[in-house]
Amino acid sequence: MRRSLGMGVLVLAGSIGSAQATPINFDDVAVAVGTEVFNSVDVISGGFVFDTQNHSHTANRFWGTDNGGTHLVLDDFLGLNPVTISQVGGAPFALTSLDISDAHSPFGTARQVEVIGNLFGGGTVSRLLTLDVDIVNGAYGNYFETFMFDAGWGSLSSIVLNGLGGSGGADYYAIDNIVVGPAAAVPEPGTLSMLGLGTVCLYRRLRRKRT
């Protein structure tokens, strides 16, 4: 009985906070290859809202970006245009990674993207991501890079992205494959008690074996 309880507690401990992360790839708002759609309203994809100040572009092999599918392009051409990403319904979530590419090279492409995470319950975390200057065969090209995020981004209410450093303040960049998942779980008091009981049982069993 004690052995079964101990093993069960170990499995439970390993499962706390674990869940399958899901990528947002904008395929549910797909557009035809070689085209783009100007969005004057918020975009919803993968159960998340992408809220901009004035507009966004859903694109597929447009603005110089191409990763084999649809992605979202942001810019400040019509004025400052940060995008706020939050889950429909407002539940907390974790950010694991996202793909970013400069866009519209060489005119107005962002050189950096500021990522601000609003923590669920208060506070913020932030990173400043520097994008590659992509020149292939003497010509500009836009290519997605994957940026990873650590456990500090495990319980967010929203993310805010700002493009920086583009000529003329245009700051074009594209985002895709945003890997998110449930927020890191905090064990409830009952769960903590169960973990404590299992630990005690394992400790006693080990002592008996030694004596």
Q: Write the DSSP string, 158-170.
A: EEEEEEE--GGG-
Cα torsion angle, 28, 31, 34, 38, sign: negative
List the alpha helices (DSSP H) in 16-83.
Answer: none
* 5-51 per-position pLDDT tens digit: 343 433 333 333 445 678 999 999 989 999 999 999 999 999 999 99
pLDDT band at 140 (very low <50, low <70, confident <90, very high): low
Q: Which fold has domain 17-186?
A: Jelly Rolls (2.60.120)
Query: Tokens 């990522």 sit at which residue?
Result: 115
Query: Greater confidence, 123 or 167?
Result: 123
Q: Is the pLDDT of residue 204 over 90?
A: no
Q: Is the pLDDT of residue 144 over 50?
A: yes
* 38-86 per-position pLDDT tens digit: 999 999 999 999 999 999 999 999 988 889 999 999 999 999 999 999 9
* 100-127 per-position pLDDT tens digit: 999 987 778 899 999 999 999 999 999 9
